[in-house]
Structure 1
Amino acid sequence: MGSEDLERSLGLYSTMMISMGAMIGSGIFVLPALGFKKAGPAVVVAYLLAAVIVLPAALSKAEMATAMPESGGTYLYIDRAMGPLFGTIAGIGAWFSLVFKSSFALVGLGAYLLLLVPISQGQIILVALALGALVVVLNISGTKLSGRVQAVIVSLVIVGITAFTVNAGLFADTARFTPLRTNGTTGIVTAAAFVFVSYAGVTKIASVAEEVKNPGTNLPRAMLGSLGVMAVIYVGVVGAVVGLTDPEVLKTGGPDNTASLTPMADGASLLFGGGGVVVISVIAIVALTSMANAGVLSSSRFPLAMSRDGLLPPMLKRIDRRFKTPRNAVLLTGAVLLLLIAFVPVIELAKLASAFQILVFSFENLAVVAFRVADPESYQPEFVTPGYPYVQIFGFVGCLALLTQMGVTPLLGAAGIIGGGGAIYLLYGRSRTDRIGAASRYLRQRRGDDPTSEPQRD
């Protein structure tokens, strides 16, 4: 059995690229047309709205990450703030959210692959499975290697999509933005909920905080910097897609007259011709693979942290002697990733990923409030969220508002995560931990109880 320590090998640039890599895939290459079908040209506003609602969670998580720069991210913070029951639910939800998003990316790249080579749908799934296996191997081989690969890929992708957006500005038809709100305000909110998962990666680097150099400085800079850069990129790219492409192509250009799954290529064909389609398709395949890599890297740290706390079996906390990575946690994550690719439809993957992420972000805003009110001595963040508690209240209410727009299936999925996480805690974790969260400790102290007098459970 290897050591349980991870190596701090990620600098600011690599950390920021991991965050952006988790955002730069489906949000640009797959989701714009799906969002357009719900909001029309105002899909650009929907991307901005989603970023605004993500910002409080990013600020909250940046604060908590500098107070607890350890692996586990969302799970760790919610567990320590609200107790292991909520921590288990959040950890399972965050883990599933990222695995669903990574699966969506690898399946979604198949639509771009079809533009390059004539292959069947079954062969697309096989390619996605092969790439998924490659991502798992890369993550077992080392965080430093994975981070370096991520930095190179994301940098090249940003250059490509920047060139696309700048050139689109010269040829886009501004008349395509009139009228802007073809489906009203409701359409914008619904589209924002659907594309919300595009920004999910912004806080996921906190789950690898234990492997980040100078986390007190680098984590907040990487989170907030990547969110700002990606908001600008999303608005620019989505605006270019809308301005270049026939609305009917966006709405019905996909399989069986569904929304197009290749909106960037649709725009590139009008901008650069056939050669542009090839270039954009290659960039999309690389970017979506990169996003899956970042998702596996981040999500595998959730079972690692939960295992360390006794909420999941101890085998998941083992660190590979040679590569210093959580091998078993990566393998579990990879197994679920491959099963989702093989059996779950691509659109459902996107919906479930968004719903789980919205649920988790709402918890993160509450966690900061719990820490601030309880004010435990151990909570000493180097970065403090401005605008507390109004920022957190806005983020929590905004997340709940978006969640109501997701439809029945995603809501049932979110309910399933709550029920499943609660069951795992009650059946396995409760008997193996006596921790209480900062909020519970504070309430017991207010009642005059001594929370340290005997083992307590939530």
Structure 2
Amino acid sequence: MSNPQNLARRLGTFDAVVIGLGSMIGAGVFAAFTPAAQAAGSGLLIGLAVAAVVAYCNATSSAQLAAAYPTSGGTYIYGRERLGQWPGFLAGWGFVVGKVASSAAMAMTFAAYAAPAGWERPVAIGAVVLLVAVNYRGISRTAAMARIIVLLVLAALALAITAAWVGTGGSTASIRGEGLLSHGWYGIAQSAGLLFFAFAGYARIATLGEEVRDPRRTIPRAILLALAIAAALYAVIAVTLLSILGPDGVASSAAPLAEAVAAGGWSWASPVVRFGAALASLGALLALIAGLGRTSLAMAREGDFPRYFAAIHPKFQVPHRAELALGAAIVVIIAVADLRGAIGFSSFGVLVYYLVANLAALTQTGADRRYPKFLQLLGAAACVILVATLPLEAVLAGLLMFAGGISYRLVRQRRTTLRP
């Protein structure tokens, strides 16, 4: 049996790629194009390209760091090891607090698609309980469920895209609209910021670094493969939506992919979009819970969270106490609040997380350096620029979140110092 203080390495490249895809192909792929079109019109295509480049820079940083530090915790560990305890803590705090809120929002999004009216909260809570139970039984169970969900979501998206094109024949004139630059570069930057978060799930692979076989080879390969597949899929969806609905149609629709399918010749396929969105939300939530558990485990090991949560189940090889506590926190949030429209601080936290990752990768030298430094510099600069495009309320909420984290750590350090 493995050392009870360490997680078991059970994931190969395929499983790691699937978990990354499950994180990226969330419900956002069904809704993110609407605000992106509102910000940039057809210029969202440029925004998507910018978002993909920024994601690539961040992905290479995460891959380079994960190969050198193949343990649980992702950027929390990288920041501590390369930059110091505080940068690592801020990355970990932003990830855990922000993604707990995101998990509650994702569960409510799933329920909005899957539950009858009035049953959204019970269904959302049931989904969280189910996925925590799956994660509790081991990373192999998590990977198996992720494979099923990703396969079904990809099939639903393929059918939706095909149905959208049947009988309509979109045109390049619809794609161009008033011109790619009609909304200006600031609008394009805003769309890039909105679309960037659809790519952010590849970091989940790095947080599972302690459970990947041959991590120096597997993690970098899985991160870049998952990102490439997601980028290609988003590009096809963007072109499809703009060709069939035009930029104004995408901007005015709450469910553009569903409208594109309805405009095609296969009207019977419309429920497929709803089914795919529900499953995509479930897949993203599954990967979120897994990543949250591993980051919390790492923070507990280092004393930034209570060490009680550093325990690993002797049979299932998972951070069971951390996962149960996080699941309970998500359930409580669902029971008392609907955060789907009020989690801008999560976006702020994600950008801080990747800023720390880029700066940490920038310090690596010798055999640990796999990619040129300009990629890390570009990634760090892009994170700062994208923060500037966030709504003011999101920035203020993010600053408040980190102020709370700093206060928490200072109090915890003081108690540790005063303890006899």
TM-score (normalizing by structure 1): 0.84
Q: Does 1:275 align with 2:268?
A: yes
Residue 393 of structure 2 is matched in structure 1 by 409
* Residues 189 and 386, structure 2, Cα contact 8 Å, conserved in 1: yes
CA shift for structure 1 position 187: 0.9
Alpha-carbon offset, residue 310 of structure 1: 1.4
Deviation at 1:309, TM superposition (A): 1.0
> Which amino acid is 1:172 matched to?
G
Question: Are the equivalent residues in 2 in contact too, given 1:310–1:432 (CA < 8 A)?
Answer: no
Inter-partner Cα distance in structure 1 for 2:45 and 2:163: 18
What pairs up with 1:21-60 in 2 under 5 angstroms? 21-60=22-61
1:430–1:87 Cα change, 3 Å: farther
Distance 2:224 2:187 in 1: 28
Q: Which residue of 2 aligns with 1:73?
A: 74
Q: CA deviation at 1:285?
A: 0.9
Alignment of 1:364-403 (within 5 A): 364-372=357-365, 381=368, 384-388=369-373, 390-403=374-387
What letter corresponds to residue 225 of structure 1 in structure 2? Answer: L
CA spacing shift, 1:335–1:241, aligned 2, 3 Å: farther
Judge conservation of contact 1:359–1:414 (CA < 8 Å) in 2.
no
Greater Cα offset, 32-41 or 336-345: 336-345
| Paired letter, 2:170 | A
CA contact (8 A) 1:62 1:220 kept: yes
1:177-192 aligned at under 5 Å gives the runs: 177=175, 178-179=177-178, 180-192=180-192
Q: Once the 2 structures are TM-superposed, how far is the Cα of residue 427 of structure 1 from its aligned partner?
A: 1.7
Partner of 1:175: 173
- Corresponding residue to 2:309 among 310, 316, 319: 316
Cα deviation digits, residues 404-458 of structure 1 (max 9, x gap) = 010112111221233223223222147759xxxxxxxxxxxxxxxxxxxxxxxxx
Cα deviation for residue 207 of structure 1 reads 0.7
Q: For residues 432 and 56 of structure 1, do their structure 2 counterparts lie closer, same or farther at Cα, with a shift above 3 Å needed?
A: farther
Per-residue CA distance 1:36-62 (angstroms, 9 max, x = gap): 222212223222211111212111111
Q: TM (normalized to structure 2)?
A: 0.91
Question: Which has the higher mean CA deviation after the structures are superposed, 156-165 or 18-27?
Answer: 156-165
> Structure 1 residues 238 and 333 mapped into 2: Cα distance closer, same or farther (>3 Å)?
farther
Residue identity matched to 2:77: L
Query: What is residue 214 of structure 1 aligned with on the other side?
Result: 214
User: What amino acid sits opposite 1:191 in the alignment?
Assistant: S
1:231-281, Cα deviation, whole Å (9 max, x unpaired): 11111112212322365554444xxxxxx1x32222222225442111121
Match of 2:153 in 1: 157
User: Unaligned stretches of 5+ in structure 2?
Assistant: none
* Partners of 2:108 and 2:338 within 8 A in 1: no
Alpha-carbon distance change, 30 to 185 in structure 1, aligned in 2, over 3 angstroms: same
1:83 corresponds to: 84
Alignment RMSD:
2.2
Helix, strand or coil at the partner of 2:264: helix
Query: Which of 326, 333, 339 does residue 345 from structure 1 map onto?
Result: 339
Name the CA distance, whole Å, in 2 between partners of 1:417 and 1:220.
31
Answer whether contact 1:193 1:354 (CA < 8 A) is retained.
Answer: no
Contact 1:27–1:234 (CA under 8 A) maintained in structure 2: no
CA deviation digits over 1:19-75, x for unaligned, max 9?
A: 110000123112111222222122232222111112121111111111110011110
Letter of the aligned partner of 2:147 in structure 1?
A
**Offset of 1:294 from its aligned partner?**
0.6
Q: What is the CA–CA distance in structure 2 between the aligned matches of 1:56 and 1:215, rounded to whole Å? A: 20
SS of the residue 2:260 aligns to: helix
User: In the alignment, which residue of structure 2 is the partner of 1:424?
Assistant: 408
Counterpart-to-counterpart distance in 1, 2:245 and 2:405: 43
CA contact 2:19–2:146 (8 Å) conserved in 1: yes
Distance in 2 between the 1:366 and 1:417 partners? Answer: 21
Residues 1:352 and 1:240: Cα distance change in structure 2 (over 3 Å): farther
Distance apart, 1:188 and its partner CA: 1.1
User: Which residue does the alignment assign to 2:230?
Assistant: 230
Paired residue secondary structure (2:58): helix
- Determine the C-alpha separation between the residues in 2 that align with 1:406 and 1:165: 30
Aligned to 1:448: none
